[in-house]
Amino acid sequence: MARGNQESMSSATHPDYRPGLEGVIGGITKIAEINSASATLTYRGINVHELAEKSTYEETAYLLINGRLPTAHEFEHYKRTLAHERPIPESVSNILKLIPRNIHPMDALKVAYSALAAYDPDYAAAPTDHAANVRKAERIIAKAATIVAAHWRICEGKEPISPDPELDTAANFLYMLSGERADEETVKVMDASLILYAEHTFNASTFANRVTVATLSDLYSGIVTGIGTLKGPLHGGANEEAMRMLLEIGTPENAEPWLRSALAGKKKVMGFGHREYKNGDSRAAYLTKMAKKVAEKKGVPKWVEIGDIMTKIMVEEKNIHPNVDFPAAYAYYMLGIPIDLYTPIFVIARVAGWSAHAIEQLDNNRLIRPTCIYDGRSGVPYVPMADR
């Protein structure tokens, strides 16, 4: 029986059941809000478009963790702290060299953060120590880009490049990948994408992260849980799959026939649709605008053209809008970023949101333990082994 039919029957039999917990309130947060009707996302009350346009990833991370924008003095101190914390211990770098090179970068991130937990100066702090958790969050946020770039270079048979203390997160990531400083416009696109990806309320990885720390585990365990959850193609891996789909399509001329064939065959079109946004994902609109600037600069319009054709058909005929993963896919591709790094870039951004949620959960903690509906057999007698 198809999964959709099973869920419909279960919902009819058990009217309180919500497949995938859709519409179920899992908690109260002050970190971010999604307004489905207006297709807007705010961080601590500030529209994410304003942040992407006027802020930086570092300032946004400070906002998410501390609940407000920093003063000039606080921001300079915060940037110095992140710069100081960006390098990873040599032993962790050695671990990245020892693991198999065919490992997915998301699995390498899990390994690295698991190891980093023991090197944190606040390792022995109580799980509910707010100040220690904020310090842990700073280290977690600072090291994400370093881990991703280091592992990628190791897999390419190259030595990792140390972070430049003069560069911020987006610029440093691009520098540590290639060894060359990216131009200002490229850095701006990467920085804006990190801001847009930084937080998204109780999505699968964030909720899993909160479930983990709610047991009075620690922030690093929550981050590892989040990474494992984000790896799946129905969550963070969608941007990678979206670009592979676009490469399969290949040309603007092939976009419409490919899409119509996919729809006729009920094939999933990656990068479209979102449970929280029925009228479109505003992050997608902003990043599409940024991607078009990249296409114009690079002189490679075809990915944007394919995207426009697919978007028009999906919206007009299915009322399904692109989500942020769709323009992120071809924006990153035009910037020359390997497809396997798209989801790890999501991690570079989202560690800020995960950390903020972990701290919020631990500040007013209660173990997360939902109930379930038993739908199996009952009164089954035990049959001795000899009689089976």
Contact 160, 153 (CB under 8 A): yes
The pLDDT of residue 23: 79
Residue 274 has pLDDT above 80, yes or no: no
The pLDDT of residue 172: 98
What CATH class has 32-232+338-363?
A: mainly alpha
| Percent above pLDDT 70 for the chain | 97
For the chain, the domains span 32-232+338-363, 238-334
How many Cα neighbours within 13 Å face the side chain of 28?
A: 4
The pLDDT of residue 232: 87
Residue 144 has pLDDT above 70, yes or no: yes
Which of 191, 218, 281, 325 is labelled catalytic? 325
Domain 32-232+338-363 and domain 238-334 have a common topology? no
pLDDT digits (tens, 9 = 90+) for 112-128: 999 999 999 999 999 99
**The CATH classification of domain 238-334, taken from the options 3.40.50.1820, 1.10.230.10, 1.10.150.120, 3.40.50.300:** 1.10.230.10
Q: Label residue 22 by pLDDT band (50, 70, 90).
A: confident
pLDDT digits (tens, 9 = 90+) for 237-264: 888 999 999 999 999 999 999 999 999 9
pLDDT digits (tens, 9 = 90+) for 169-192: 999 999 999 999 999 999 999 999
Q: What pTM did the predictor assign? A: 0.91
325 assigned to active site: yes
Which of 49, 151, 200, 274 is labelled catalytic? 274
340 assigned to active site: no
Contact 247, 147 (CB under 8 A): no
The pLDDT of residue 4: 52
